[in-house]
């Protein structure tokens, strides 16, 4: 991981460089709304497997791409943990994208940074193995982390940038200036990356003559999720029951009324520090959603200050997960209404129910899958009911 001191000179470089990089990306490998005005994104978080990876996960990725035909796949971090065999592990997943002629890009997670290849070396493998289908770049290597970059989406009938996708390396763990872990917990998007976002966002607005709506993708979730989902308390019963974040202690029970959809099976794990990334996005007014992974069984959607905070459940069979959550997330944009979007967590079980040939190929019992999905739907219904009840109680008693 690269640590650099942000300076005024760097800010000037990025102001002028951002506009150039946007044009360069559009000129080489174009992302574009289709003839129906749609653009589909597959968010694939926490594949987190060794080499060779679990066959069931690999076949799920391949079958999902064939079924949903995404315009781009975003690898959401903790992509490969094949220490001493990283190149082959990366190539194993990338080969699926190439075989399906599907663009992809990459964000790095905390476990990606712990491998025997550096993040820079891993990016080179992604680029070499992916060839023309790899859109991941590191246009500003002086920034903290690797492959913090932006991808414009052009109009279906014009070369106007209609949408922006921002990819952030949320780094791994809090370290000192010599790279030693301080034992404080996870890192986050750093100050220099936030400045890069602001200048790139401004450059996009200048080029388009208006704010360009956007989404952000990163591995580690933003800390504002705690105020959204948990109530502050003065009683501390330890982090297992009453987690602490940013100088506050939070109660065990979530604000169910603020969970729009999906599961929350474990406490979110944001970075130890908060350098103002979310505040910068609220101020800029272009980002409509931030997608994260990291917390494998969580698939919730909540909202803070007009920005959706969305967690995608992990695809891994190698690390921990939940049968209610394991899968990937599909996101659909519509060129005719860029103020909103559609999204759903597609679980392996639901996909097996909808695609019996896949279920047979990977040995999933569709009857058991239906029971699992049905019970998951029951849990979601209870969550929504309790959320309504909680809203009423909150309204009555303030």
Instruction: List, for residues 43-61, the tens digit of each pLDDT value.
Output: 999 999 999 999 999 999 9
What confidence score (pLDDT) does residue 388 get? 65
Instruction: Provide the token pair at 296.
Output: 């494998």
For domain 8-397, is the CATH number 3.60.21.10? Answer: yes
Instruction: List, for residues 305-315, the tens digit of each pLDDT value.
Output: 999 999 999 99
Given pLDDT bands bounded at 50, 70 and 90, which one contains residue 66?
Answer: very high
Nearest to 257 by CA among 300, 220, 310: 300
What confidence score (pLDDT) does residue 65 get? 98
What confidence score (pLDDT) does residue 243 get? 87
Angle between helix 191-208 and helix 277-284 axes, rounded to 10 deg: 10
What confidence score (pLDDT) does residue 396 get? 57
Q: What average pLDDT score do residues 71-94 get?
A: 97
Question: Lowest mean pLDDT: which of 9-18, 234-243, 365-374?
Answer: 9-18
Distance CA 197, CA 200 (A): 5
Position 15 pLDDT exceeds 70: no
Instruction: List, for residues 329-386, the tens digit of each pLDDT value.
Output: 999 999 999 999 999 999 999 999 999 999 999 999 999 999 999 999 998 888 777 7
Residue 100: CB atoms within 10 Å: 17
Distance CA 77, CA 7 (A): 28
Sign of CA dihedral 97, 136, 44, 112: positive
Question: Mean pLDDT: which of 25-29, 131-135, 226-230 is highest?
Answer: 131-135
197 φ, ψ to 5°? -60, -50
Mean of the per-residue pLDDT values of the chain: 90
What confidence score (pLDDT) does residue 6 get? 34
User: E strand or H helix at 55, and its extent?
Assistant: helix 55-68
Q: 């315009």: which residue's tokens?
A: 71
What confidence score (pLDDT) does residue 392 get? 53
Distance CA 19, CA 199 (A): 9
- pTM, to two decimals: 0.91
Nearest to 1 by CA among 166, 168, 114: 114
What confidence score (pLDDT) does residue 18 get? 45
- 8 Å CB contact between 273 and 282: no
Instruction: List, for residues 122-161, the tens digit of each pLDDT value.
Output: 999 999 999 999 999 999 999 999 999 999 999 999 999 9
């Amino acid at each position: 991981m690269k640590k650099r001191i942000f300076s005024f000179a760097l800010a000037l470089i990025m102001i002028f460089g951002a506009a150039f990089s946007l044009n360069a990306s559009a000129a080489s490998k174009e992302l574009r709304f289709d003839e129906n005005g749609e653009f589909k994104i597959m968010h694939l978080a926490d594949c987190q497997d060794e080499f060779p990876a679990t066959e069931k996960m690999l076949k799920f990725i391949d079958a999902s791409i064939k079924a949903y035909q995404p315009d781009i796949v975003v690898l959401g971090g903790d992509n490969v943990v094949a220490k001493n065999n990283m190149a082959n592990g990366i190539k194993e997943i990338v080969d699926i994208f190439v075989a399906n002629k599907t663009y992809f890009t990459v964000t790095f997670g905390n476990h990606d940074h712990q491998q025997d290849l550096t993040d820079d070396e891993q990016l080179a493998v992604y680029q070499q193995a992916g060839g023309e289908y790899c859109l991941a770049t590191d246009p500003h290597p002086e920034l903290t982390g690797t492959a913090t970059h932006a991808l414009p989406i052009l109009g279906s009938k014009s070369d106007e940038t209609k949408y922006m996708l921002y990819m952030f390396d949320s780094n791994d763990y809090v370290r000192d200036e010599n790279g030693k872990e301080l034992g404080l917990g996870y890192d986050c998007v750093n100050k220099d990356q936030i400045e890069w976002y602001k200048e790139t966002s401004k450059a996009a607005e200048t080029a388009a003559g208006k704010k360009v709506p956007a989404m952000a993708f990163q591995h580690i979730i933003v800390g504002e999720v705690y105020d959204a989902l948990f109530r502050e308390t003065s009683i501390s019963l330890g982090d297992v029951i009453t987690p602490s974040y940013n100088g506050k202690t939070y109660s065990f029970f979530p604000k169910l009324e603020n969970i729009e959809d999906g599961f929350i099976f474990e406490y979110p794990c944001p970075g130890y520090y908060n350098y103002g990334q979310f505040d910068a996005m609220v101020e800029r007014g272009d980002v409509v959603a931030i997608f994260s992974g990291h917390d494998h069984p969580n698939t919730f959607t909540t909202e803070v200050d007009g920005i959706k905070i969305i967690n995608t459940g992990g695809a891994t069979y190698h690390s921990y997960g939940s049968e209610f959550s394991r899968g990937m997330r599909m996101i659909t944009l519509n060129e005719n209404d860029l103020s909103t979007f559609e999204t759903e967590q597609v679980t392996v079980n639901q996909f097996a129910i909808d695609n019996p040939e896949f279920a047979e190929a990977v040995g999933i019992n569709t009857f058991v899958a239906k029971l699992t999905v049905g019970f998951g739907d029951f849990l979601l219904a209870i969550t929504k009911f309790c959320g309504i009840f909680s809203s009423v109680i909150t309204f009555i008693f303030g």
